[in-house]
Amino acid sequence: MSHNSYDLHGLPLQDRGAAITVGTFDGLHRGHWSVLQQLEDSARRDGLLSVLVTFDPHPLKIVRPDAAPGLLTTPNEKKEILTLSGLDYAVFLSFTRSLSLYLPEEFVRDVLLARFGLRKLVVGYDHGFGRDRSGDVDTMREIGTRHGFGVEVVRPVLQNDDAISSSGIRRALTEGDVEKAARGLGRPYSLTGVVVHGEGRGRTLGFATANVAVHGTDKLLPLEGIYAVRAATRSHLGVGLLHLGPRPTFRGSPPSIELHLLEFEGDLYGEQVRVEFLTRLRDVQPFGSAAELVEQMKRDRAKAVRYFEDLGGRLYREAESE
């Protein structure tokens, strides 16, 4: 992708014309990638620029804050993932109360046509737009006929006969099924945070952990539990375990996100870390003593090692069969 933009000045959209898709695209899951691929193919075929118009914040954060979902992808994560696409431009529109009041035809006329040089619109089968999502695919086709642009509708991508959706992936994550979420996303679900000073209890128990703080985002956290994860910092790429949630064995300790990396010794304080959730090992549970907790942590680590060994073998066998 050649350009991320909040500033529309200088974009050559009007001169050349654009094939556009528009929407929240939270998660950039396999269904979204199908839309983006068709957009790129259609734009190339007709000599147009391919443009994604997306929103920040999530529209429900403005329209119905009480119903706004946790984000699968923060704006920064979305930009990073989009660099893997072949789009010409991705434009992040600030979603405001006034924008939410646009009727479907007003949005098309005043935003997509006037500002972006719309010549063709590519949308998912369930696309809704305009005030209260009152515009659907049929509405878009009618508007296209009046204003002279074509509309292409992309069929759903199915997983076990169900259409892949952001809401379905959120549901899987809140149930702790990070493997199902990964199948829908086309990659492991991840979060990014900064390693901060914790209580230092893990090191005294023989399991050094990095306390990860996720600040200032509406990022969705999976179900509380112990997870096998992959983690990346500026200086290290490895696997480990993640504790997500309360620490009932130690009264008064706040909930935390604690990362224990296998085969790593060092200081990560102040570093940014990305954690990818691979599988959920167990629930968070209380123990009668620190010694009992340590024994369970040893079992967790052994279980994680077996998981990673099996995962490596599966990846090797898949590569051999290709």
User: 148 is written with which tokens?
Assistant: 């002279």
Q: Are 129 and 140 in contact (CB under 8 A)?
A: yes
**What is the reported pLDDT for 56?**
93
Which H or E run contains 147?
Answer: helix 137-147
Gap between the Cα atoms of 200 and 211, Å rounded:
9
Which among 195, 170, 194, 190 is positioned nearest to 180, based on CA atoms? 170
- Domains, the chain, in order of start with CATH, read 4-163 (3.40.50.620), 188-321 (2.40.30.30)
User: 318 is written with which tokens?
Assistant: 């898949």
**What is the reported pLDDT for 280?**
98
Map residue 172 onto helix, strand or coil: helix
User: Phi and psi for 169 in degrees, rounded to 5?
Assistant: -70, -40
Q: Are 258 and 243 in contact (CB under 8 A)?
A: yes
Burial of 45 (0-12, 13-18, 19+ CB in 10 A): exposed
List the chain pLDDT tens, one digit each, 322 residues.
544 443 444 455 666 799 999 999 999 999 999 999 999 999 999 999 999 999 999 999 999 999 999 999 999 999 999 999 999 999 999 999 999 999 889 999 999 999 899 999 999 888 777 666 667 888 899 999 999 999 999 999 999 999 999 999 999 999 999 999 999 999 999 999 999 987 665 566 678 889 999 987 799 999 999 999 999 998 889 999 999 998 766 565 567 899 999 988 888 899 999 999 999 999 999 888 888 988 999 999 999 999 999 988 665 566 566 6
User: 12 is written with which tokens?
Assistant: 């050559």
Question: Does the bond joining 286 to the residue before it have cis omega, within 30 degrees of 0?
Answer: no
DSSP secondary structure code for residue 255 in this structure: P
**What is the reported pLDDT for 144?**
95
Gap between the Cα atoms of 222 and 209, Å rounded:
19
